[in-house]
Amino acid sequence: MSGPPVVLVPCPLCGADDAEARWSTPDRAFGVPGTFTVAGCRRCGFLYQRPRVRDDALAACYPDNYPRHQEPSPRVPFKGSAARVRAVRHALATALGYRAFEDRDASALTRLRAKWLGSRLRWSCPPWRGSGRYLDVGCGSGGSLGVARALGWTTVAGIEIDAAAASIARRFADELHVGAVESAPFAPARFDLVTAFHVLEHLPDPVAAISRMLAWLAPGGLLVLEVPNAGGLGASVFGRAWSGLELPRHLWHFSPQTLEALVRRAGGDVVWCWHQAKPRYYLWSVRAWLADRGHSGVARMTEQPIVYGALKLALELALPVVSRLGRGEVIRVGVVAGASGRSKPAC
């Protein structure tokens, strides 16, 4: 069976039209026919799908059961006992800027618990900014919008290209644009925070998309981007079996350095860079790696709860080290418009 139509595009980072094939894989997740290749730019090293699926054929690469379009309920942090909720509120106030939740009389125990919670909550709760106007680009079924609504954001808006996902997201949104980033009607300088989680690697023109998102920021606003890290441990160890490749849906494969350079090209500046590594990302890579070597039986064994549990525990102990070394599976960066005045790169 022949695959979708493809096109050769130059490197979006430096414009060079010369790249060396690095990894080729079929679509491991949804079985789009064909073999897809990631190449490294010979001038700047940026990794991207080359040739890549043509713009008009991209939508057909996403099946109806695409996970991003069927996310579970929003991960609202106010769960559990009254004591836990007090600690969550304190963590939001102290670590993420939610002054509305400030409690000067919090006990020492609440403060301690809040400190521990803060490092986890920062991954699921957006940092408060300005007067609380929030836009999530590529909002899927609205998980992040639901969290923002529960946290008291004053305007909650989304952009989603998939109509079915958008219809689920709509219940959390004041405004929702169903369509592409380029066609979204929002006026410039309208939002205090714009986020795009695992979106950039899917968009045909990432530089144009970032500069559009930066234009939506009000003065003092923040853009938060999250992508798989092609400079992480998983990509070096597993190569073509790395779970972040996700061909043919991922068009670009960023490292912290190439993401920072791309952001600068779009007129922004990275002010911080966090790493994350979830055990399941490595497990997916391990399974693909084993399957590539004809050990599908062993690969299936890793799905057994006891094997999965043991691997998960081992990985959870090792992951903080990986993250501290800057070799996580996922990177999240904070971006401001224009120059931040930083003298050193953030990544």
**Cα–Cα distance, 173 to 159 (Å, whole number):** 10
For residue 250, the Cα-to-chain-centroid distance in whole angstroms is: 12
- Please pick, from the candidates 4, 27, 37, 46, the single residue that binds Zn ion as defined by CB under 5 A: 46
Compute CA 131 distance to the chain's CA centroid, rounded to the nearest angstrom.
Answer: 24
Q: Which residues contact 31 (CB under 8 A, 6 or more apart)?
A: none
Instruction: For residues 50 and 53, give the distance between their C-alpha atoms in angstroms, rounded to a whole number.
Output: 9
What is the x/- site pattern for Zn ion, positions 5-24, by CB under 5 A?
A: ------x-xx-x--------
Q: Where does this chain touch Zn ion (CB under 5 A) — which range of 29-37, 43-51, 161-169, 189-197?
A: 43-51
Residues in region 162-191 near Zn ion by CB under 5 A? none
Q: How far is the CB of 51 from Zn ion (least distance, A)?
A: 16
Least distance to Zn ion, CB of residue 38, Å: 13
Tell me which of 3, 6, 26, 43 binds Zn ion, using CB under 5 A. Answer: 43
Phi/psi of residue 119, nearest 5 degrees: -70, -25
CB atoms under 10 Å from CB of 105, counted, come to 5
**Separation between Cα atoms, residue 48 and residue 9, nearest integer Å:** 10
* Residue tagged 């009607």 (tokens): 185
Member of 32, 38, 41, 251 binding Zn ion (CB under 5 A): 41
325's enclosing H/E stretch is none
Closer by beta carbon to Zn ion, 221 or else 256: 256
CB of 261 to Zn ion, least distance (A): 9
CB of 45 to Zn ion, least distance (A): 7
Q: Residue count at the site for Zn ion (CB under 5 A)?
A: 8
Residues at the contact surface with Zn ion, assessed by CB under 5 A: 11, 13-14, 16, 41, 43-44, 46
